[in-house]
Amino acid sequence: MDLKWEPGGVALGPGGVPAQVEGLEELLQNVALRLNLYRGSLPYDPELGSGLFQLDHREENSAQRAWALANETLMDLPGVRVVQASYDTETGMWLFTVETPLGGGQAAARGKEETDGAF
């Protein structure tokens, strides 16, 4: 069992107590955290995280590269694999369909930030 995370921090449940997740929901939360963490950003575990934040969705074969990067990121989670990757241009997020020993689900990760060319 783990604490439930949402954008901005820990999600609060009834009475202001931190909410908890378990089972498939916990596993999918851990998948999303790994996919969103910049690889190399944690000094104590520089291999944790992904390189998705560097992947431009406009590049040729970007969905296949996102699929490969995501599966590489999740290699140390036994039985967890990405079966589909796509990019949502409205949200700027990579969307993944994930299969786990506990069932299937969805996870999302930030893509490379788009700039207008200005500094």
In tens, the pLDDT along 5-45 reads 887 889 998 899 999 999 999 999 999 999 999 998 988 88
**What is the set of domains in the chain, with CATH numbers?**
2-110 (3.10.450.40)
| pTM summary value | 0.86
For the chain, the average pLDDT equals: 91
- Per-residue pLDDT tens over the stretch 49-80: 999 989 999 999 999 999 999 999 999 999 99
> What value does the mean pLDDT take over residues 108-118?
69
- What is the torsion angle, in degrees rounded to the nearest 10, for the CA atoms of residue 29, residue 34, residue 38 and residue 41? 110
Q: How far is CA 90 from CA 69, 95, 114, in A?
A: 22, 12, 12
